[in-house]
């Protein structure tokens, strides 16, 4: 895959600090805020974000919605609703893949060329990190192949263990 190494990168960071065009939020279907990365994004963006989310009125699992980033360095927040892990036989993988593909299409349609994702569903929603990272990377590879407007996708890992998992997945692409 030519240019793949630069187009997909993994970093260890707080996603609210990233100066990319769009950050993705691991939201719940109400879009009304929660803990984890969702809480951090709402705190950093300011109260206007909750107002914008309230106006949208919710989002089904496996899909995404976009709002401005308000006080964040990122211009946009894309709220993706990941599945709760129930053991893997309730369509979790397709729903998780849907978060990544929908988010990237939304980003491209709004002119966002650089997008950062957290590890959706791997916190409170308990999706196993390895399996989630494999789906994240595979879906981003597939979707960016069809979306030339997306210049770079950052996998924003919250700790060193997650970063290691993503780095292994990305290394497998270039073999
Ligand atoms: P979910 O409900 O989708 O599981 P969580 O917010 O509980 O969402 O966790 C998703 C992932 O986001 C976890 O891997 C967690 O470690 C990570 N995370 C939490 N806070 C941040 C942050 N500020 N920046 C990036 N990732 C974060």
CB atoms within 10 A of CB 149: 14
Q: If pLDDT is split at 50, 70 and 90, which confidence band does 175 have?
A: low
Asked if residue 10 lies in contact with residue 167, where contact means CB atoms within 8 angstroms, the answer is: yes
Question: What's the 174 CA to ligand 1 centre distance in angstroms?
Answer: 27
Residue 27 bridge partners (DSSP): 81
Average pLDDT over residues 150-171: 98
Asked if residue 129 lies in contact with residue 120, where contact means CB atoms within 8 angstroms, the answer is: no
Query: pLDDT value at position 2?
Result: 41
Question: What's the 2 CA to ligand 1 centre distance in angstroms?
Answer: 30
Q: What is d(CA 151, CA 104) in angstroms, rounded to the nearest whole number?
A: 11
Domains annotated on the chain, with CATH: 4-174 (3.40.220.10)
Q: If pLDDT is split at 50, 70 and 90, which confidence band does 1 have?
A: very low
Average pLDDT over residues 106-135: 98
Q: What is d(CA 105, CA 103) in angstroms, rounded to the nearest whole number?
A: 6
Q: What stretches of the chain show up as alpha helix (H) in DSSP?
A: 4-7, 36-45, 48-56, 92-109, 129-146, 160-173
Find the distance separating the first CA and the last CA of the chain, reported in whole Å: 10
Cα dihedral: 164, 10, 95, 1 (round 10) = -110
Q: If pLDDT is split at 50, 70 and 90, which confidence band does 5 have?
A: low
Q: What is the pLDDT of residues 34-86, one digit of tens each?
A: 999 999 999 999 999 999 999 999 999 999 999 999 999 999 999 999 999 99
pTM: predicted TM-score of the whole model, two decimal places: 0.97
Q: What is d(CA 41, CA 87) in angstroms, rounded to the nearest whole number?
A: 28
**Residue 112 reports pLDDT greater than 70:** yes
Q: Is the dihedral of CA 169, 12, 145, 88 positive or negative?
A: positive
Locate the ligand 1 atom nearest the alpha carbon of residue 126 and give its number: 4
Q: How many residues does the structure list for the chain? A: 175
Query: pLDDT value at position 33?
Result: 87
Average pLDDT over residues 115-143: 98
Cβ of 37 less than 6 Å from ligand 1: yes
Locate the ligand 1 atom nearest the alpha carbon of residue 127 and give its number: 4
């Amino acid at each position: 895959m030519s240019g793949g190494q630069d187009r997909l990168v993994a970093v260890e960071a707080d996603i609210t600090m990233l100066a990319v065009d769009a950050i993705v939020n691991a939201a719940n279907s109400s879009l009304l805020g929660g803990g984890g990365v969702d809480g951090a994004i709402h705190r950093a963006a300011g109260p206007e974000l909750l107002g914008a989310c309230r106006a949208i009125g919710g989002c089904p699992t496996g899909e995404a919605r976009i709002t401005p980033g308000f006080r964040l360095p990122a211009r946009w927040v894309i709220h993706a609703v990941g599945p709760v892990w129930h053991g893997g036989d309730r369509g979790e993988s397709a729903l998780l893949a849907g978060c990544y593909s929908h988010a990237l299409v939304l980003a491209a349609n709004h002119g966002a060329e650089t997008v950062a994702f957290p590890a959706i569903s791997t916190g409170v929603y308990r999706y196993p990190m390895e399996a989630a990272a494999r789906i994240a990377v595979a879906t981003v590879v597939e979707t960016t192949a069809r979306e030339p407007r997306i210049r770079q996708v950052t996998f924003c890992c919250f700790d060193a263990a997650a970063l290691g998992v993503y780095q292994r997945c990305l290394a497998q692409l270039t073999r």
